[in-house]
Chains A and B, each alone.
Chain A
């Protein structure tokens, strides 16, 4: 276990292994998102109450899941970085934040647009909506904090602390629909209980959720590799890798 953590913490080892894993996650993401989109948009039946506006669920729910999962991943990476000083964990946390913010924006926007035909309003200071807005500000705060220090180590530590403190918002988002039930409906999709939706509506949603997660993993692997290049540009192994094997690098770029 310890040997594994140490290996995982080595940027050089991570750079190599992530190159091998990355294509699989990109392929899975592309396939799942394509199948899920076609199924959700074209083949799933319209909802008997909401009509076709319910098809927004196939982007809204996966984005909202991912927005929260990315924040948890960022907090865990921050903890790993703070406790074991593993730099790759901090690099991963740094590259996750913009995607997390983007997914929060997608969840808020698709929710607002969905609210117009369904609730008759695009916004209300409902607990779920408000806690998601706070999540967006937390993401923006983490991103801004990283840019606010001239020392990389101070920036990493500050961002880790904010992520670990801010993660308290995640259970608030999750239970907000049960604690203060005002506008947003409770979870229609959970991993632990049987779906309340008919299978032909529910399956494409599962596929979309898996597609979004694959996309997150693939993008994080790719961008963590870039972050390694950025931070270790002067290291010998990076120079050897990039310059010594130019053919290999070009082949990778054109893929």
Chain B
């Protein structure tokens, strides 16, 4: 291990602002992409289901 304590790890030998902002932006963008992909998938699946339900109920009313 390169650090002796957690505080020392967070301080990154005085380079904390640089290391943590670079890693933070990376993590944020990766998480945001996954989150966006999940929302997109759920919305598309729900949209197709909703349309099918509506089509079914229309057909039901007509009969």
Contact = CB atoms under 8 A, between A and B. Distances in A.
B45 interface: yes
Contacts of A213: none
Given A53-B19, A117-B18, A239-B52, A222 B37 contact: yes
Interface stretch (A5-13, A36-44, A128-136, A139-147): A36-44
Interface string B37-63: 100111011011101100000000000
Nearest to A40: B23
B22 to A, nearest CB: 4
Q: For chain B, what secondary structure do more than half of its interface residues adopt (helix, strand, loop), or is it mixed?
A: helix
A63 B26 contact: yes
Contact of A52 (B15, B25, B49): B15
B45 A222 contact: no
Contacts of A114: 18, 22
Q: For chain A, what secondary structure do more than half of its interface residues adopt (helix, strand, loop), or is it mixed?
A: helix
A165 interface: no
A229 B43 CA distance: 10
Contacts, number: 100
Contacts of B34: 219
A243 B44 contact: no
Central interface residue in A46, A51, A59, A105, by most chain B CB within 10 Å: A59
Given A63-B26, A113-B21, A226-B44, 9 more contacts: A56-B18, A56-B19, A59-B23, A98-B33, A219-B33, A225-B41, A226-B40, A238-B48, A239-B48
Interface of A: 33, 37, 41-46, 51-53, 55-56, 59-60, 63, 98-99, 102, 105-106, 109-110, 113-114, 116-117, 215, 219, 222-223, 225-226, 229-230, 233, 238-239, 242-243, 246, 249, 253
